Every structure is written in C-alpha cells, then in structure tokens.
C-alpha cells in the first residue's frame, strides 16, 4: 500500500496563503481609508440635546475626493416620544472635500414635537456630490447633554 501525504501539503499551503493574506489585508484597508474613490459618511453618537429638545447637535464625519463638485450633507433624525414621533432634518452644502476625513456638526431642528433627552433616536445621513459621490449611513444614536 502506498501512503498518500497530499493532505499535509495542502494544509501547509493553506496556512502559508492565509498568513500572506493576513499580512497584506491591513495595508489594503489602510489605503482605502486614506484615499476613498467615493464618498463615505458616518453619523457620530452621542448627539447633543439643546434648547429643551428643540434642537439636536448631530456630529457627522465624512470624506469625499478632492475635486468633488457641489458636495452636500442631509441629516434626518426621528425619535419616539410620549404621544408620537419627534423628527427633524438639517442640510449643509459647500463641504470641504480634501480626500481625508472631516467632521461637521449639523443642528437638526425639531419639526412637530421636541426631542427627548436620554432616549435613543434614529439618524440617517446622506452625502452627495458630482461626479459619482453618494454615501448613506443609518444608525441609532444616543441623545445626551
């Protein structure tokens, strides 16, 4: 009977290949984070409760390529409050597109009901610009002082 050792060879090749991929994956991620080809956006948490709930200060981190034309951010916030839903939105244009990460604060004004302190809210941010810059982030955010 002939012994077959192909399994050991295959295992060694698989482990070596995994090690190579593991060593270059962080580099690939770092390059894409430094120079995105499209825009990226993220709503930061917590958001600040201001003016007895009439306004939420919403920090938003974004990036867009240098040369993006007419870049803007739109933020919407909704929150379940006693007796209904509080909601509001904010808009910011003329963003600075440096190719790096920037953080801006948008003041979201409550439209029909005041926002509640210490109750989670849902925020959505849209980043748009020309040509081909489009990004969205949706997440639950904490509301604090």
pLDDT of 78-93, one tens digit each? Answer: 999 998 999 999 999 9
Catalogue all structural domains in the chain, each as residue range(s) with its CATH number: 1-34 (no CATH), 40-144 (2.60.40.10)
Average pLDDT across the chain, whole number = 84
**DSSP of 4-22:** --HHHHHHHHHHHHHHHHH
Whether the pTM exceeds 0.75: the reply is: no
**CA torsion angle for 57, 63, 69, 72 (degrees, to 10)?**
-20
Q: Is the pLDDT at 72 greater than 90, yes or no?
A: yes
CA atoms of 9 and 114, how far apart (whole Å): 66
Strands 84-93 and 40-43: unpaired
């Amino acid at each position: 009977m002939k012994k077959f050792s192909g399994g050991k060879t295959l295992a060694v090749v698989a482990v070596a290949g995994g090690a190579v991929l593991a060593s270059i994956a962080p580099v690939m991620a770092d390059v894409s984070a430094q120079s995105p080809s499209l825009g990226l956006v993220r709503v930061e948490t917590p958001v600040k409760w201001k003016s007895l709930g009439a306004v939420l200060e919403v920090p938003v981190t974004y990036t867009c390529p240098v040369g993006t034309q007419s870049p803007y951010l739109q933020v919407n916030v909704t929150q379940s409050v006693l007796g209904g839903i509080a909601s509001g939105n904010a808009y910011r244009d003329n963003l600075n597109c440096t190719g790096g990460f920037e953080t801006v604060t948008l003041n979201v004004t409550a439209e029909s009901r005041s926002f509640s302190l210490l109750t989670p809210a849902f925020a959505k941010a849209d980043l748009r610009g020309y040509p081909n810059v489009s990004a969205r982030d949706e997440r639950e955010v904490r509301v604090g002082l």
